[in-house]
């Protein structure tokens, strides 16, 4: 076994989109903590490389080459995990893609592809996993990867922002729906330099320079390993938190709250909207 604190000893963890970046780091970190890992991706060579890496380090892992973009594919990923290990304890919905364009230039296909992977994939994997977790009756943990794009929006990412906002809705809803089964549901909005986030960060850097603005602290980001460490803590049985959204930026962890509701008189409202 890899050297670690064994926070996830004998726990079966399925991580979608775990062949690189944050997903890969989570797979390696959780294997280090004693978890049995189901590595998922759409490229067989990439999947095998991560599985081999984990095994070389002394961990246990299987590979599942399948896309979460279809409901059938997502369900197959969950079912193969259960068939191989006999159970599933922790699901991490991490698979993601970007197809960035301004709204008027965005194609139907770019819109659909992003929502299929992020939103449909999260829905379908979670539904299949919850059916198993409920039947076992031993609780469980679901971690959804969202983004500040879903919390506050990002120019040029209307598809990605919509999908990630939808994942927040899934997280909040299922945390309430599943707490009676002792199934915890949380979300992480990571800030980490990966192949997928690098173009976004570079675009923000250029815009800040052009507009003579300070580069936002949020985007002064950490590593995929920072995100993996947070996910490991949330996944461990020592954690009881549910229904929360956490951001992680290097050594700093943020907690995002649900939008606050404020009631105003019509006159107060007019002042705010500058009538």
The CATH number of the domain holding residue 130 is 3.40.50.720
Is the residue at 69 inside a domain?
yes
pLDDT above 90: percentage of residues in the chain = 72
Is the residue at 216 inside a domain?
no
Mean pLDDT of the chain: 91
List, by residue number, the catalytic residues: 160
Q: In which band, very low, low, confident or very high, does the pLDDT at 197 lie, cut at 50, 70 and 90?
A: low
- How many domains, in total, are found in the chain? 1
Is the residue at 87 inside a domain?
yes
Is the residue at 4 inside a domain?
no
Is the residue at 202 inside a domain?
no
174 vs 199, which has greater pLDDT?
Answer: 174
Is the residue at 197 inside a domain?
no
- pTM (predicted TM-score): 0.88
pLDDT over 60 (residue 254): yes
* Domain that residue 40 falls in: 12-192+221-272
Is the residue at 64 inside a domain?
yes
80-94, 154-168, 184-198, range with greatest mean pLDDT: 80-94
Is the residue at 49 inside a domain?
yes
- pLDDT at res. 246: 95
Cα–Cα distance, 79 to 181 (Å, whole number): 20
């Amino acid at each position: 076994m890899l050297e670690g604190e064994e926070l996830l000893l004998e726990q079966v963890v399925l991580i979608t989109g775990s062949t690189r970046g944050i997903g890969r780091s989570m797979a390696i970190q959780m294997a280090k903590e004693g978890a049995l890992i189901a590595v998922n991706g759409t490229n067989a060579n990439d999947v095998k490389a991560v599985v081999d890496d984990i095994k070389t380090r002394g961990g246990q892992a299987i590979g599942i080459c399948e896309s979460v973009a279809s409901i059938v594919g997502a369900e197959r990923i969950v079912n193969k995990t259960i068939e191989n290990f006999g159970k599933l304890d922790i699901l991490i919905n991490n698979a993601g893609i970007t197809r960035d364009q301004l709204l008027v230039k965005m194609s139907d296909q770019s819109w659909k592809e992003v929502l299929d992977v992020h939103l449909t994939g999260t829905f379908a994997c979670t539904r299949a996993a919850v059916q198993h977790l409920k039947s076992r009756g031993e609780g469980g943990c679901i971690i959804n990867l969202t983004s500040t794009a879903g919390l506050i929006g990002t120019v040029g990412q209307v598809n990605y922002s919509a999908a990630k906002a939808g994942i927040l809705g899934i997280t909040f809803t299922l945390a309430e729906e599943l707490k009676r089964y002792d199934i915890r549901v949380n979300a992480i909005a990571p800030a980490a330099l990966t192949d997928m986030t690098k173009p976004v960060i570079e675009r923000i850097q250029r815009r800040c320079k052009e507009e003579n603005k300070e580069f936002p602290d949020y985007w002064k980001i950490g590593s995929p390993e920072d995100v993996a460490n947070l996910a490991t803590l949330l996944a461990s049985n020592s954690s009881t938190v549910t229904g929360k959204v956490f951001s992680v930026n290097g050594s700093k962890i943020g907690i995002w709250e649900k939008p606050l509701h404020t009631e105003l008189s019509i006159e107060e409202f007019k002042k705010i909207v500058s009538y």
